[in-house]
């Protein structure tokens, strides 16, 4: 059912954790399954993503897609990070079962939410970036989960 890469990123996820004083934090949730994903970005003055970490409270595919998404955006510019779509993440994982496609969407949205947060904090506009619909930062702002 799952590719070897999915299993690898699920059992040995890369970049798990938090970044203190992150440049941008994105938290998104899927209302149907209840899974939550948070991405932390450390972005330098040149707009390059120096470091990225994630915490995912969700299914195996959500963990694997978060892990792969962090690998794909690391070292990229903010603009390049926008090209890391859920399709790109799925391709890098050698595919996902159709019922698990929404999990990869969560990863894309978490990155976008973190970029949105970064843009807001720095009063900049990232061309082509829209606020993710499942951004739940306001809801969980004062909650630990
Ligand atoms: Fe919800 Fe995978 S089942 S993110």
pLDDT tens column, 63-90? 999 999 999 999 999 999 999 999 999 9
33 is catalytic: yes
59 is catalytic: no
> How confident is the model at residue 17, as a pLDDT?
98
What is the rounded end-to-end Cα distance, in angstroms, of the chain?
30
Q: Where are the domains of the chain?
A: 4-123
Q: Which residue has the higher pLDDT, 101 or 1?
A: 101
Burial classification of residue 98, based on how many CB atoms lie within 10 Å of its CB (0-12 exposed, 13-18 middle, 19 or more buried)? exposed
> How confident is the model at residue 135, as a pLDDT?
81
136 contacts: CB under 8 Å, gap ≥ 6: 27, 28, 29, 36
The mean of the pLDDT values for the chain is 93
Please tell me which residue in 22, 103, 106, 115 is annotated as part of the active site.
103
Predicted model pTM: 0.92
Going by CATH, does the domain composed of 4-123 fall within 3.90.1010.10? yes
Q: How far is the CA of 58 from the centre of ligand 1 (A)?
A: 6
Q: Are 118 and 23 in contact (CB under 8 A)?
A: yes
> How confident is the model at residue 142, as a pLDDT?
53
> How confident is the model at residue 65, as a pLDDT?
97
Q: Please, which pLDDT band fits residue 126 given cuts at 50, 70 and 90?
A: very high
> How confident is the model at residue 143, as a pLDDT?
56
**The pLDDT of residue 8 is above 80:** yes
**The pLDDT of residue 145 is above 50:** no
Q: How far is the CA of 30 from the centre of ligand 1 (A)?
A: 7
Q: Are 53 and 70 in contact (CB under 8 A)?
A: yes
**The pLDDT of residue 117 is above 60:** yes
């Amino acid at each position: 059912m799952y590719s070897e890469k999915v299993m690898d990123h699920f059992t040995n996820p890369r970049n798990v954790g938090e970044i203190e004083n992150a440049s941008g934090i994105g938290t998104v949730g899927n209302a149907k399954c209840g899974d939550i994903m948070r991405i932390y970005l450390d972005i330098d003055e040149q707009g390059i993503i120096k470091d990225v970490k994630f915490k995912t409270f969700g299914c195996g595919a959500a963990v694997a897609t978060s892990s792969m998404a962090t690998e794909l955006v690391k070292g990229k510019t903010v603009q390049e990070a926008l090209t890391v779509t859920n399709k790109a993440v799925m391709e890098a994982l050698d595919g996902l079962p159709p019922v698990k496609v929404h999990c990869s969407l969560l990863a894309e949205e978490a990155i976008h939410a973190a970029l949105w947060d970064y843009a807001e904090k720095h009063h900049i506009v990232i061309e082509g970036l829209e606020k993710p619909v499942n951004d739940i930062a306001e809801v969980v702002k004062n909650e630990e989960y």
